[in-house]
Amino acid sequence: MEQRRRLADVLPEEPGDAEDTPPWDDDTPPWHTDSEVPPAPPEEDEPNKPSDHEVQAQVHREIADAMETPVQEYSFPPLELLKAAPRTSTAGVRSELKDSSERLVDTLASFGIEMQIINIVRGPSVTRFEMQMERGIKFSRITALSDDIALALGADSVRIAPIPDKLAIGIEVPNKHVQTVALRDVISSRGFEQSPAKLAVALGKDITGSAQVIDLAKMPHLLIAGTTGSGKSVCINSILISLLYKSSPEDVRLIMIDPKMVELGNYNGIPHLLIPVVTDPKKASGALSWAVGEMERRYALFAAAGVRDLGDYNRQVRMQAEQAAAAPEDSEATPSGRRLEALPQIVIVIDELADLMMVAAKEVETSICRIAQKARAAGMHLVVATQRPSADVITGIMKSNIPSRIAFAVASQVESRIILDTTGAEKLIGKGDMLYSPIGMSKPVRIQGCFVSSEEIERVIAHVKSTSAVEYSQEVMEHIERQADADSSSGGYNAAEDEDELLPQAITIVVESGQASVSMLQRRLKLGYARAARLVDQMEQRGIVGPFEGSKPRQVLITKDDWMQIQLRQKI
């Protein structure tokens, strides 16, 4: 009875009229677009001194000339193009939570585990019951009861995880009625509106109802994976629409690769695109190789300018433009006379990695890894998505270089581990329910992703196209065509033809033993040194083992379960 009396202290108050109940986040200021305030006219006693307005206009022209684009003001799309989430009635929520709390406590007590509910947090898609364990109870005892708890609460599944910064565990139970998180609600939040980052992205709302806004530049690369229908494509569209609301083409340029040819094609014609959306997997390899070359070119420019990253470089460009605008017409812009080019940030979006890996695995993986390793300071960032989170698609080398990840609902613990290096994604309920694991965070955060409809996407794209003209880069398109022609004339790379017939057997030996060495394969397979070394090289190319590290044995990057999954997929 004492436990039941305590439940009244943690249950939320019964909500009033649904019309007076705001969404789960706090009221946020309306969207606004900062406009320039006309400066005061220059003093009459200094007729030759340019006004602040004239200096700013000259700086804008200098930067635009440096980027070889005409001066054209980007028209940010208005917030009215997006729809707000419908208000849902919360009547009966208190009684539902009370019933669930009592059944949860009774279920745990029936297995000999006495726990106290200290708080209840209701989010858009799940409710978290925060519980305090008695001393001496192992956390593994509770996680082993997840199926029994789900059965008692009438839920498909529950997720049990420690709560960061609290001496408590959270039992997350799906809500009977999921509240839609509209993209408009997050874009109009303080976090998005006041963020100075040009790559700010509206991700969704966490379990407390707080808007989650991330900066792609700090990721600095993002891996997204989940099964069909889990919300992966909607998440990619939310990222792209967020960038259209936050950044002009002078600040951010996009390269989109869509082998499925159905997801990103409607973005063709927006001014942010460097090239039309790439749908040919062979040309996608050329686009990635251009990005590697652009990364190296930018680092050469940084070295010549004596700066370390894109932010410092562009600040130097602005300073040079201001000096050139204020200097007399017959003087040089800089002592050396060399004029710097302003550089935008570049975001490369790959919607289906698996299709690229089937056509040109070696070239694609090499380019992605090189970009992921070095491109952060150059202002280039990857967003890679796949609906096949298997070890042959998301290789060990790729995972080690893309630290920030988002997992939507997956079918098994094996797939969850491939994405996040931990379990939990197999317990998600789909429809935008995600686990977000950014760089530097030990535990993933559960977020309900933003929803944006096809009609909203079309309205925003139509507005952007009608107000700003697209200018594709001929240099990038010519590079891609040359690369495709070279691959065609050389026959390209065919992994199947190059594969040794003993490779599957060699991989099995390496995975089971947990180590990879040429001498071990020589003994076990009775081979010569050259062939055994070639087998190890092929395993490295496919992300099975790590690179050569001198006297240390090579690291094995996949588990037995990963290898079994690869073999099953190849048989299918």
What is the C-alpha separation between 390 and 509, in angstroms, rounded? 20
Residue 4: both structure tokens together: 């039941």
Cis peptide before 78 (omega within 30 of 0): no
Strands (E), 207-278: 211-215, 222-225, 252-257
User: Any known ligand binding at 51?
Assistant: no
Residue 171: name the closest of 220, 238, 120, 206 by CA. Answer: 120
| Residue 473, burial from CB neighbour count under 10 angstroms (0-12, 13-18, 19+) | middle
The torsion defined by the Cα of 397, 402, 405 and 408, in degrees rounded to 10, comes to -50
State the sign of the Cα–Cα–Cα–Cα dihedral 137, 141, 146, 149: negative
Positive or negative torsion for Cα 362, 363, 364, 366: positive
- Residue 68 three-state SS: coil
Residue 508 is labelled as binding a ligand: no
φ, ψ for residue 324, nearest 5 deg: -65, -35
Q: Tell me if 440 is assigned to a ligand binding site.
A: no
Residue 253 CA to residue 243 CA, distance in Å, equals: 10
Distance CA(339)–CA(305), nearest Å, equals 11
- Is position 90 annotated in a ligand binding site? no
Say if CB 356 and CB 364 are below 8 A apart. Answer: yes
Q: Exposed e or buried b for every residue in 235-248, given b needs 16+ CB within 10 A? A: bbbbbbbbbbbbbb
Q: Residue 8: left if φ>0, alpha if ψ -120 to 50, beta else—which one?
A: alpha
Q: Tell me the two tokens of residue 324.
A: 């050139």
The reply, when asked if residue 443 is annotated as ligand binding, is: no
| Distance of alpha carbon 84 from alpha carbon 79, whole angstroms | 10
227 is in an annotated binding site: yes
Q: At what angle do helices 93-110 and 2-10 cross, to 10 degrees?
A: 140
- Which residues 6+ apart lie within 8 Å of 410 measured at CB? 225, 226, 227, 230, 389, 416, 419, 425, 426, 428
* DSSP letter (8 states) at residue 51: P
Residue 282 counted as an annotated binding residue = no
Nearest to 346 by CA among 382, 386, 312: 382
> Of 160, 165, 238, which Cα lies nearest the Cα of 448?
238
- Does residue 248 contact residue 464 with C-beta atoms inside 8 Å? no
Q: Tell me which H or E stretch contains 407.
A: strand 404-407
Q: What are phi and psi of 187, to 5 degrees?
A: -65, -30
Residue type, 72: Q
Is 170 a known ligand-binding residue?
Answer: no
The CA distance from 317 to 296, in Å, is 19
Annotated binding site: 226-233
Annotated binding site for ATP: 226-233
